[in-house]
Amino acid sequence: MADRIITSIANSGNSEMAYYETARLFRLYTEIFCDQGAFTVLENTDPVITSLVKIATGLDKVSAESYLKQAEEIFNSEKHTKADTITHPENFIRARAIQLWQTGGRDAEQEIIRMIEGTAGLNQLDIFKQKMMSELTHRFMQLLLKPKWFQTSLTLSHAKQFFPKFSMDSSATLSKELLTSVNDSHNSIKEYLCYLLLDFVIVDPALELVPFGCAFQFAEDLQLKDVFDNIVKKEFNFSDKKLRDHKQKALNAYYEVKESASEQIYQD
């Protein structure tokens, strides 16, 4: 029933990419669970893998050992290899998943998930990762806008363009969990967060350079410094020298602003 619903939504011409990605992942996981069932019955990976490859390629003779070796070479050479980025990808994924199940059992599940999903880019999110991205965006904005001086009518109105019921959380802090989540993200997601940062920097001109200084510091705290600097340089057509000068002026303006302990984003 779930398969029919997911596939039907994904096949609709009006559906967004996230629904197609959800259906693709659901199908691939289903195939891998079926492969596990075959392995459970046979207690041998070779016939499962050779059958898989024969059906996919039409070859009469297949070496499971050679095929697994090819799959392993691909995954060792490509850090972020996942199911939609390599030649005949799903067969390699499925074959290696069976091998991992044979050697590691349930301990292999996290590696199998990494193989299938990899590090998803901004345009490769399924509906579950979209929800996670929404939550990350919300937390990101709460941290950025935590200083009272930043909470103007224009900045809060802009926040409500993303979340109509947006409200501040006085207890929001920059946790290790959030930092890890940002650092492990695909580069397209890091760029998205930095453009979001830039949005709030320029939305209220009355704040002058202070938000820019705050953003430079915030980007450094989240280890997004290089990404944010490159975006600012690109969008404002700055040379390296102009970027350095602008950054120093903005940071000086920000450092002059007094913030209370309750406005800090750092954990004790």
Position 78 scores a pLDDT of: 60
* Contacts (Cβ under 8 Å, ≥6 apart) of 89: 82, 83
| Cα separation, 16 vs 125, whole angstroms | 10
User: What is the DSSP secondary structure assignment for residue 169, as one 8-state letter?
Assistant: -
Position 119 scores a pLDDT of: 82
* Contacts (Cβ under 8 Å, ≥6 apart) of 101: 36, 39, 108, 112
- Residues (pLDDT < 50) of the chain are 85-88
What pTM did the predictor assign? 0.81
| Cα separation, 120 vs 252, whole angstroms | 37
User: Which is nearest to 23 in space by CA: 2, 53, 46?
Assistant: 2
* Tens digit of each residue's pLDDT (9 = 90 or more) over 85-120: 444 467 888 888 888 888 877 778 888 888 888 788
* Tens digit of each residue's pLDDT (9 = 90 or more) over 115-124: 888 788 888 8
Position 82 scores a pLDDT of: 56
